Chains A and B, each alone.
Chain A
Amino acid sequence: MTAVSETCGVVVEIGGLPIRLRCSDRNFVQKIEERYAGFLGASNEAAFDFEIELASPGTEAGDEDVRVSRNSAGWLLERGDFRAEWNPSTARGRIKQTTSPYSLDSVLRIVHTLLLARKGGFLLHASSAIRNGRAFLFSGVSGAGKTTMARLAPPDAALLTDEISYVIPQNGSYHAVGTPFYGELAKPGENLEAPIEVVYLLAKGPENTIEPIEGVAAVRGLMENILFFARDPEFVKLVFDSACEFVTRVPVRRLTFVPNASVWELIV
């Protein structure tokens, strides 16, 4: 007797890019639906298709380093808990991963960094929120205060993410888009979008101050926080060009802040 498993799928749409995820394990598909609840595609249309195969528990490797490389068949994304092959030209890919939805989260982050690079956008280590119709990004390394800024946000601010901001060029400006990628807040962002008003590079200090950062320092500050996994030369150039272009259009500032709600009085 031949065992035939029915594959079911779900479309996850982040930054306007619908990606279909298929898996024969219905329970896992349900997990995906719950994890990306605010980001499920409205229709069944998808720009890319991924087939997910779940690895048996205990088969994952221990190493944690992400490796992203490219060959004639497309991109290869690897970490101890997943291995994904993806060919952008055929719009199809395969993911072998553990049952943890966080493995899928990592694959999606990488896929979006690769796709955004071609569009002049990027993912930034930053929390972000929309206030008065404009998006404010708060960027920094782990511990800089991204989640703190998100927690301190006033009720009139719509939180896009507390961890990974989605930046995309649009009609001559840059927009921030909500993502399901979260950090310590453990809460997905709202699926909203707004033009970016400013990027703040975070530092904690004795008082709330804002200083402009320009030119080389702005690019350097931004590059330190842009996610890019691939060491592919063409990809690195794309990301660098995107960062340089971004700082010519969006102000970058240093926000030194006291971690209490008073800092948001400056964010208007």
Chain B
Amino acid sequence: MSHPRYVARSTAIAARPLGDEMMIMSATTSTLFTLNEVASVIWQAADGVTPLDQIVTTKICTQFDITPDLALKDAEALVEDLASHGILLLSDKPLPPTAGSRGVAP
């Protein structure tokens, strides 16, 4: 059985929803990222204290037509990719709340 993983938005980013997508800019590299609708849901739910598998179960599988196993596999690939760019924090333990994880600019 795998350990739960926790995700939190980095504070060194600027983010804004545009339509169904989320646009994120790394404040350290000025690189722009665009998240699709599913990825945006995970991003917005990344509060540092909700395990990723719970986010997938409660936010993804209830809104999108996808099996839990496949959704979790896709979600893990996504968060690892975002973490590699420094715009998401990834941990085996809950992450402390930060200013950047309280919300996304409207």
Other-chain residue from A215, A231, A234, A240 in contact with B21 (beta carbon distance below 8 A): A215
Q: How far is the CB of A234 from chain B (nearest CB, A)?
A: 8
Given contacts A233-B12, A237-B14, contact A223 B32 (CB under 8 A): yes
In A214-236, the 8 Å CB interface with B consists of 215-216, 219-220, 223, 228, 231, 233-234, 236
Q: Number of A-B pairs whose CB atoms are under 8 Å?
A: 42
In B11-52, the 8 Å CB interface with A consists of 12-14, 16, 18-19, 21, 23, 25-28, 30, 32, 34
Q: How many residues of B contact A (CB 8 A)?
A: 16
B1 within 8 A of A: no
Q: Which residues of A contact B32 (CB under 8 A)?
A: 219-220, 223
Main secondary structure of the interface of A (DSSP, over half): helix
Verify A236–B14 contact, CB threshold 8 A. yes
Q: How many residues of A contact B (CB 8 A)?
A: 14
B residues sitting closer than 8 Å to A (CB atoms) are: 12-14, 16, 18-19, 21, 23, 25-28, 30, 32, 34, 105
Additional A-B contact list (11), CB under 8 Å, known A219-B23, A231-B28: A215-B18, A216-B18, A220-B32, A220-B34, A223-B25, A233-B28, A236-B25, A236-B27, A237-B14, A240-B25, A244-B16
